[in-house]
Structure 1
Amino acid sequence: MKNSINDMALFIKIVENGSLTRTAIALDMSLSAVSRHLKELEQRLDVCLIIRHAQQFKMTNEGTIYYQNAKAIMKSIDELEEEVRGKGVLRGNLKISTTHGFGKKHMAPLLAKFSKMHPELRISLSLLNNLSFMGDSIDIALMVNPPKNDNYVMDVVLKDNYVIVASPDYLQRTPEINTPSDLLKHHCLCLNNDRIIMNKWSFYLDGYENNVQVQPYLLTDSGETLRDWALAGEGVAYKLSWDLVDDINTGRLIQCLPHLKTEQLELCIVYRKQRNQPARIREMIKFLKANILNSLS
């Protein structure tokens, strides 16, 4: 078993260095020793893992499979040793991703608080205007209505509805909004996510759906920019309420058609299905579930 683990570690180094010579230099080994270990590994597995000639260094299909699985195994070993050695102290790297507006306003303060609780943990927050998938380097993502994927767990932490809002100044100088069809007379501020213009605004009354196809006056892929335009009196915005609670409560924005039910979306904590989830990921998920709702109030 020990030799197998050492062989995996060496093979990973060979692949990532891109040559036997560079690997030998990096590990302070002789080139012949590196070559011998690789040859013995291939003989034991009875496959060729790397095609190596004077002008060629390329993994075979079997080599790619071995590398990917060896990488995962070595990562699990590192995480196990880290967790046991830590005895309750969270260490290592934790990468989290979410949308720009939600991350800046709600996630950043929560992660700062969690970091103070676990000072030996290195937390990285990646903010994107649109987050429609979870990259391989991300440990946890906060996503709205994530696409179904059997390789991931998707825990719903919040359900939120869209609201129609505009500034008092804008509403004073434009026609009244009493029905969804009145929106067709207004400057409508729309999101443009993944090249899809979100200009179909949905309402529900007496169990029936009423969709209004508005004409975009201004388009953006940023929820923050959409809010800024609404505050500046540029038009009417259709946006999830969690970003607008303070603006509505203070009167900076007025909710239009509040008696009508609108489309509802789910905010999910997304993470990979994994038998032995590292403690830092488990604890962060637990922390987010306990604190996200409070951060929105």
Structure 2
Amino acid sequence: MPRPSLNDLTAFVAVATHRSFRRAADEIGMAPSTLSHAMRALEERMGVRLLNRTTRSVSPTEAGFRLLDRLQPALVSLDEALDSVAGFRGNVAGTVRINAPRLAAGFLVREILPQMAERHPDVTVDIVVEGQLIDIVSCGFDAGLRLFESIPKDMTTVPLGRPLAFVCVASPTYLDRFGEPETPDELQRHHCIGHRMPSGKLYRWEFERAGQELVIGTNGPVVLDDEELMVDAAIKGLGITYVADWAAELALSDGRLRKVLAEWMHAPEEVAIYYPGHRTVPPALRAFLDVVKELRRK
């Protein structure tokens, strides 16, 4: 059997991953009809059907899934091998487009970008703040940054090395005046600063203790869609708020806020950079990931 070309195998991985000839064609810069013909030629060359096609969808066959499982790590290893000699070509240059929520974007600016600017001055890191989880490939991003559990399973991940936890916080002034809740149910008699999600819905506060889980709808004088503003509102004594600890850490450290219901909070969650592993990783993105990995080890 003639050996398929690397281009054909890469194209198959794109189609099998996206389950769409159109999205795969956009990624690899090929017309959908040309890509479809290339996949039929690949199947004929290999003597096995790799894709199930209908007028509206495409999905791997059992043989296609088996080939996809073996090809994805192989292509990643090939990309890494090629990138390992990139340094011999001179300075890494290019643009890395990253999609991230506001708090995570702030972490990148404070912790990652100074190292990138020092080591790779010819790389531009273009960060777009986005509250909703989007398809980074179809939207033209090289990578995204999210909680690990919300990252699509077909993506390659690089843990950021700093978990994120959620905390309930209030100012000492507020707690002195209204008292401290001992259980989540007691929040019903407190002023709570609401969080409006990107979807427009109000976030319901989630708690867990000894296997018991509670989801609480809250009421209060203020509803905001930005966690840093929620922290500011809590500092001003407007009520209790429920935010990521990254947003509240400075105010907690200097005493402007105090944690409440700490024993009811969920365990910290891992945050990770993610990117499509079946694609060739550009040198600029590889340089960015290397900085993330090095800082994680410190």
Same fold (TM > 0.5): yes
Instruction: Verify the 8 A CA contact 1:186 1:236 in the aligned structure 2.
Output: yes
Aligned: 1:168 with 2:172: yes
Aligned to 1:188: 192
2:277 & 2:262 partners in 1: Cα distance? 40
2:151 & 2:189 partners in 1: Cα distance? 37
Identity %: 22
Aligned: 1:108 with 2:79: no
Alignment of structure 1 residues 78-227 onto 2, 5 Å: 87-104=89-106, 106-109=107-110, 110-128=112-130, 130-136=131-137, 137-145=140-148, 147-157=150-160, 158-195=162-199, 197-227=201-231
1:65 & 1:118 partners in 2: Cα distance? 39
More strand by share: 1
Instruction: Verify the 8 A CA contact 2:151 2:274 in the aligned structure 1.
Output: no
SS at match of 2:238: coil
Deviation readout 1:56-100 (Å, 9 max, x if unpaired): xxx98526879xxxxxxxxxxxxx89x759625211111122112
Q: Which runs of 5 or more residues in structure 2 are unaligned?
A: 1-29, 38-81
TM-score, structure 1 length as denominator?
Answer: 0.64
2:240 & 2:296 partners in 1: Cα distance? 28
Tell me by how many angstroms 1:112 deviates: 3.0
1:293 & 1:186 partners in 2: Cα distance? 42
SS at match of 1:97: strand
Deviation readout 1:12-56 (Å, 9 max, x if unpaired): xxxxxxxxxxxxxxxxxxxxxxxxxxxxxxxxxxxxxxxxxxxxx
Q: Determine which structure has more spread, i.e. the larger CA radius of gyration.
A: 1
Aligned residue among 234, 237, 244 for 1:230: 234
Taking only aligned residues, the RMSD between alpha carbons, in angstroms, comes to 3.2
2:266 & 2:168 partners in 1: Cα distance? 9
Aligned residue among 255, 268, 274 for 1:270: 274
One-letter identity of the residue aligned with 1:92: G
TM-score, structure 2 length as denominator?
Answer: 0.64
Evaluate the alpha carbon distance shift between residue 219 and residue 263 of structure 1 in structure 2; reply closer, same or farther with a 3 A threshold: farther
1:240 & 1:198 partners in 2: Cα distance? 16
One-letter identity of the residue aligned with 2:271: L
Evaluate the alpha carbon distance shift between residue 200 and residue 188 of structure 1 in structure 2; reply closer, same or farther with a 3 A threshold: same
Aligned residue among 242, 250, 268 for 1:246: 250
SS at match of 1:193: coil
Aligned: 1:290 with 2:294: yes
Tell me by how many angstroms 1:279 deviates: 2.6
One-letter identity of the residue aligned with 1:115: A
> Which protein, 1 or 2, shows the higher relative CO under an 8 Å CA cutoff with sep ≥ 6?
2
One-letter identity of the residue aligned with 1:102: A
1:177 & 1:160 partners in 2: Cα distance? 23
Aligned to 1:34: none
